[in-house]
Structure 1
Amino acid sequence: MARTASLRTHPPALTPIEPQTFAREADRERLSEVAIKAFLNLAKAWGLSNAESAGLLGVSASSLDRIKRGYRPELSQDQLTRVSALVGVYKGLHLLFADGTADEWIRRANRGAVFDRLTPIEAMIEGGIPRMLEVRRYVDAVRGGL
């Protein structure tokens, strides 16, 4: 007996999923709280001062103090990009180094072209998002991720 077309099964149609972006308010609203938590944990692990933390996150010192006390604002696209880059650096360093060096590395002066003899923290504060992304790519490249 021949199979008929009506007996064939087809997989269900997939609903396209829109990519997550930091540009959409819904994504920023959904991601802000977890990004703040990750940033505060990272700042603690790296032993960042308030000034360093505020500089890296792109907020004033008083805004950072409010965030540390529990205020959870919706982060901007730029702030989420900063946190994403910093978490990538943190993760890459912990994949590269199995000891305390992972958290100490960001305080060591570096002769690499990305750093201009500054510590990675100083370079990222001075250079903002573009430098943060460069540092992330640098760490990924050193560990063989690129």
Structure 2
Amino acid sequence: MQLQPISVTPFEIGSTEISDSEAAALARTTVNLFNAWKITDAQACTLLGGLSPRTWARWKEGNAGRIPRDLKMRMAHLMGIHKGLRYVFKEPARGYDWIKAPNAAFGGKSALEVMLGGELSDLAVMREWLDAERSAW
């Protein structure tokens, strides 16, 4: 018996694309995370790349709808930031407070202020910084 070659596209091999159902779960988790961080609706919209207040209100009601790729990546970074904080701080409340505290590592700005630059790269930088902090142990 001769095996037939299988045609595989690059996206099928080790794909890291976030599915729609995963994105919906990320949206629900993001709402909960922002509640824990005690951030404003305006800050939430900025962190989510300029999400409209109306769309954010729908998210809070549990209706995220279709989520574009950029927004999926933003939420993935936010979850990475949350995970990093959970590793650094044993008490979740300390991590939630740290987000808003001035930090010499960021020129006296808080992590939230850095992330509120609005760019995807602002979230990526914070995630990388936290990953580096916890890997230094």
TM over 0.5: yes
- Shorter-chain TM-score tier: 0.7 to 0.9
Q: Does 1:19 align with 2:14?
A: yes
Structure with the greater alpha carbon radius of gyration = 1
| Equivalent residue runs for 1:24-43 within 5 Å | 27-43=18-34
TM-score (normalizing by structure 2) = 0.81
- Report if aligned partners of 1:28, 1:76 keep a CA contact under 8 Å in 2: no
Q: Quote the residue 2:45 is aligned against.
A: 54
- Pick aligned residue for 2:99 from 106, 115, 128: 106
Which has the bigger relative contact order, CA under 8 A and spacing at least 6?
Answer: 2
Q: Which amino acid aligns with 1:51?
A: A
1:12 alignment counterpart: none
Number of equivalent positions:
127
Whether 2:63 is the aligned partner of 1:68: answer: no
The CA deviation string for residues 79-124 of structure 1, in whole angstroms up to 9 with x for no partner, is 1111111111111111111122111111011222xx3432111211
What is the CA deviation profile of residues 5-33 of structure 1, one whole-angstrom value per residue up to 9, with x for unaligned ones? xxxxxxxxxxx7533344xxxx4423221
Percent identity over paired residues: 26
RMSD: 2.3
Q: Which runs of 5 or more residues in structure 1 are unaligned?
A: 1-15
Instruction: Give the aligned residue type for 1:66.
Output: R
Amino acid paired to 1:48 = I
> Which residue does 1:143 correspond to in 2?
134
Question: How far apart are residue 73 of structure 1 and its match?
Answer: 1.4
